[in-house]
Structure 1
Amino acid sequence: MSRSKITALVSCLFAVALVLTACSGGDDAVPPAPLATIAVPVANGTAINPTTPIVVDAHGGTLTSVAVTNAEGKEVKAKAGDKGKTWSTAEDLGYGGTYTVKATAVNKDKVPTVKTFTVTTIAPASTAYANVIPAPDVVSGVGIGVGQPMVFQFTAPVSNKSEVLKHLKITTTPAQPGAWYWIDDQNIHYRGPDYWKPGTKIHIEADIYGVDLGDGVYGAEDTAMDYTVHDSWIAKADGATELLTVFHNGQQVRQMPMSLGEPNNPSHNGPHVISEKAAQTIMDSCTYGVCQGDPGYYRETVYNDLRISNDGEFVHSAPWSVGQQGAANVSHGCVNLSPADSQWMFDNFGLGDVVEITNSGGPPLPVWDTYGDWELSWAQWQAGAAK
């Protein structure tokens, strides 16, 4: 065989070898994608506040299903997050609960990862409600007067007052300034520098669920109510003239003789707010320590009653004192009117309307006596939130 033929044969065999090597594939196959991982940050064994959302995160993949159920198997409402990467509960949890989280995520090869987590919530020593006063059903259809403070009355003492204040909200339409004042450890009131404008819409909220009220007590639930302020009704009781003058939306509409508290039982001076009305009430002096057999004891059914303090002060019918009305102060602290005049007051005045007493010879109405709120200056009132 000639040298040229040998060279040609070798070249051909080398080419075949290259083709076979190229067809074999070697070790260049693509490896499988890593599995997706799932994380629930709050599932670490530490009990969480029930307002804290349960968040589920997927890494290296996409969440395809998530379910959170309580101990009874009820599923918690949820909302999807960023393109299947996150998921979160969309409602508050319960106190002292155990929740099961079941989640599935797939990697880019659609291979699933399935995980189960447990989340627990705190169990308070006790809970308390924030009751709104006046109760909406009491003023439904009639509204409230211009002097009515907004009131939350807690069913347990609040020691964590600064934190609770962050969760109380008032919206007024039209907008008017206002501030909170702690009357005591269980009652907080809200008013402005002046009476409300007639027609004002008031929305009040206490978003206290999950809030630490102090001393192991947490908020039991949120509360929200709406009120409408009706026409302005203000009665001015002047002990110097023994006259009760009534103003409707700033215009005088009636004036009537009256009698305030006698010198030994003077009526409190200052603005009073009607907190209750009843067609008749049994008034018993024993409720404030003057009982049967004591000088000055009385127990009598009284009509057309508008309560203006918890210290036993009312605007009411007093037929027994008609002869002194307009001439002398002879009551036990109430505003005495004739039956006809008291009926007119009862028909026109309601919760939140104002009775301003002057020249009675008595001390100012205490701020804690139902609605002594207006006895304080605006500067004094604003300082009350820090108590």
Structure 2
Amino acid sequence: MSHSPRTRTVLSCTMLVVTLVAGATACGGTTDHPLSAAPYDAASQVVLGTASGRAKLDPDRPLEITAKQGAGGRITDVTATDAAGRYVAGKLSADGTRWHTTVPLAAGAHYTARVSTEKADGSPGRKVVTFDTGVPAKKRELKVTFGPDEGKYGVGQPIIAELSEPIEDKKARAAVERGLRVESQPAVEGAWHWLNDEVLHYRPKEYWPVNATITARSTLDGIKVGERLWGGESAPLKLTTGDRIVAVTDASSHYMTVYRNGEEINSIPVTTGKPGFSTRNGIKVVLGKEYFVRMRGTSIGIAAGTSESYDLPVYYATRVTWSGEYVHAAPWSLGSHGAANVSHGCTGMSTGNAAWFYETVRPGDLVKVINSYGEEMDPFGNGYGDWNLDWKEWQEGSAVHGTGAPRTPPAAQQARLRPGT
């Protein structure tokens, strides 16, 4: 993501007045200003909030620089930067009498403003001034926690940003998005998507590149986000990706085909969900791996003692939904692998194949189910189904590129339901 100026909303005015000193007006003919002439210091009188210039400015108010009326001069340019060298966006009036910031200043920050002016006869002037902003009373801090944990992931892993305060207003959401920077090497196009008032996901238009380095960080520290809400310090995140592993399970042919970087590396006979328990269609991101899981029918609403109930030790379990859909070893249904769908929603295979799959994939890799009678994978309610939205739909969930409307996940994601088979 680019380091563009932070977008903020203009409120009321804190005056930084540049008073232009009146000078002689040219009398007919042409006016020549040789390079050897001393420049006209039209910005010699500067007031920062108070006459002393030592008071800290209120970051709740925009910075304004004006030319003294009747002095016969104008402002030609103003450049304001913070201590890190980042530019503060501003706007100069057409007549050169007023310049003001179009984004709020950061709290507790140091700024430098370079003001260029011109007298009526064209004589130039320039002044460099510095000032500090204070910290508002009753300030609340917005902190950002990035996820997942640092490490190596598959190319489908989304970046998660959890906010310490709910953000509902679209303008505030846009300010947050612009302050959350995600960069990858190699570079790719990407965008944030709001799941609800406190959680955002970031993914690229396509999958992450193979063997990429991805960093996520917040530049919101000191930046005003909402009413008495300012960005706080947040720890950055660094991830890397491995090969592009995509496992495609065809529920109608009862086979899983595994691809590495576009090339087939294995074809595995499987069984998926039987009628009434059909496996979800769509793209799922591997959430984690568990060598051993105890799977019980009661965890998915099957009453104990009924014909569908079960209580089984399961090995080499690769999780793809929070509600308990796995790819795992199912030696009890070996005769149905490659021939029939007999599970309660998971993808079962032989112990040897499950061990191979378990060792081959990592969190962030992709499992795609096709030709099942099951429902479509929810984009956010039951794991990372982010890739089931096309790029246009994904951008619509951004406050910068779309409406930024919240998508509150159902309770299933919060409950992290126990697994089924």
Note whether the superposition's TM-score is higher than 0.5.
yes
Q: Which residue of 2 aligns with 1:379?
A: 392
Match of 2:144 among 114, 117, 130: 130
* Pairwise CA distance, 1:162: 2.1
Match of 1:250 among 257, 262, 268: 262
Paired residues of 1:261 and 1:330 also in contact (CA < 8 A): yes
Alpha carbons of structure 1 residues 285 and 220: separation in structure 2 relative to 1, 3 Å: farther
Paired residues of 1:41 and 1:56 also in contact (CA < 8 A): no
Q: Which residue of 1 aligns with 2:107?
A: 51
Unpaired runs of 5+ in structure 2? 1-50, 62-103, 114-125, 406-421
Q: Which residue of 2 aligns with 1:153?
A: 162
User: Which residue identity does 1:380 align to in structure 2?
Assistant: E
* Pairwise CA distance, 1:284: 3.6
Counterpart Cα distance in 1 of 2:273 and 2:225: 41
Q: Which residue of 2 aligns with 1:144?
A: 153
Corresponding residue pairs, total: 292
Alignment of 1:1-387 (within 5 A): 38-42=52-56, 51-53=107-109, 120-124=135-139, 127-136=141-150, 139=151, 143-159=152-168, 160-211=172-223, 218-293=230-305, 296-368=308-380, 369-385=382-398, 386=403, 387=405
Greater alpha carbon shift after TM alignment, 285-294 vs 372-381: 285-294
| SS, match of residue 353 in structure 2 | helix
Paired residues of 2:291 and 2:315 also in contact (CA < 8 A): yes
Greater alpha carbon shift after TM alignment, 296-305 vs 349-358: 296-305
| SS, match of residue 320 in structure 1 | helix
Paired residues of 2:142 and 2:229 also in contact (CA < 8 A): yes
Counterpart Cα distance in 2 of 1:326 and 1:179: 39
Counterpart Cα distance in 2 of 1:259 and 1:165: 42
Paired residues of 1:234 and 1:354 also in contact (CA < 8 A): yes
Alpha carbons of structure 1 residues 211 and 269: separation in structure 2 relative to 1, 3 Å: farther
* Pairwise CA distance, 1:56: 11
* Pairwise CA distance, 1:289: 3.4
Counterpart Cα distance in 2 of 1:244 and 1:45: 58
Q: Deviations over 1:134-192 (max 9, x none)?
A: 111xx2xxx11111112212344322322211211121222211121112222211222
TM-score (norm: length of structure 2): 0.62
| SS, match of residue 153 in structure 2 | coil
* Pairwise CA distance, 1:231: 0.9
Alpha carbons of structure 1 residues 39 and 203: separation in structure 2 relative to 1, 3 Å: same
Paired residues of 2:138 and 2:228 also in contact (CA < 8 A): no
Q: Deviations over 1:90-146 (max 9, x none)?
A: xxx9xxxxxxxxxxxxxxxxxxxxxxxxx5543345x4532222111xx2xxx1111
Paired residues of 1:40 and 1:54 also in contact (CA < 8 A): no
* Pairwise CA distance, 1:254: 0.8
Greater alpha carbon shift after TM alignment, 44-53 vs 144-153: 44-53
Percent identical pairs in the alignment equals 29
The CA RMSD measured in Å over matched residues stands at 3.1
Counterpart Cα distance in 2 of 1:44 and 1:128: 19
* Pairwise CA distance, 1:271: 1.0
Counterpart Cα distance in 2 of 1:131 and 1:330: 41
Counterpart Cα distance in 2 of 1:338 and 1:157: 46
Alpha carbons of structure 1 residues 259 and 218: separation in structure 2 relative to 1, 3 Å: farther
Q: Deviations over 1:271-318 (max 9, x none)?
A: 111011121223344444335456634343322121111232111111
* Pairwise CA distance, 1:333: 1.2
Paired residues of 2:272 and 2:341 also in contact (CA < 8 A): yes
User: Which residue identity does 2:301 align to in structure 1?
Assistant: G
Q: Which residue of 1 aligns with 2:417?
A: none
Counterpart Cα distance in 2 of 1:230 and 1:325: 30
* Pairwise CA distance, 1:348: 0.8
Counterpart Cα distance in 2 of 1:379 and 1:200: 24
Higher percent of residues as helix: 1
Unpaired runs of 5+ in structure 1? 1-36, 58-81, 94-118
Alpha carbons of structure 1 residues 215 and 55: separation in structure 2 relative to 1, 3 Å: closer
Q: Deviations over 1:202-258 (max 9, x none)?
A: 121222334555576554422322221111111110011100111111111111111
Q: Which residue of 2 aligns with 1:8?
A: none
